[in-house]
Amino acid sequence: MTYRSDMKFNIYGRRKLEVRRENDGWEVVRQPETVGAVDLFIPSVLETEDSATYLDDIYYELAGSGYDNKLLS
């Protein structure tokens, strides 16, 4: 899986997030809205390749049968 500093995730088919590396931190935006997702904080020390695992840990309660946490782009 290839990770970039600008990624889009489909969280178990229930929520879409865009995660961007901005300077020394992360910015999270809910899709299709362009308003920041203020209810989610991603630690600045988190490495890009660990972002999917972090989101999986945060949103595990949204998991359902047949759905995965997927990196879209």
Structural domain boundaries, residue 38 = 6-71
pLDDT of residue 15: 83
Q: Is residue 20 part of a domain?
A: yes
Confidence check: pLDDT of 69 > 80: no
Q: Quick check: is 57 in a domain?
A: yes
Q: Is residue 1 part of a domain?
A: no
Whether residue 19 lies inside any domain: the answer is yes
pLDDT tens for 12-62 read 888 888 898 888 889 888 877 655 555 788 899 998 889 888 988 888 887
Look at residue 38 in the predicted model and tell me its pLDDT.
58
pTM of the complete model: 0.73
Q: How many domains does the chain have?
A: 1
Dmax (CA) of the chain: 37
Residue 73 pLDDT greater than 80, yes or no: no
Backbone phi, psi, residue 51, to 5°: -65, -40
Give the whole-angstrom CA distance, residue 15 versus residue 32. 10
Contact between 11 and 17 under an 8 Å Cβ cutoff? The reply is yes
Which two tokens mark 66? 């047949």
pLDDT of residue 37: 57
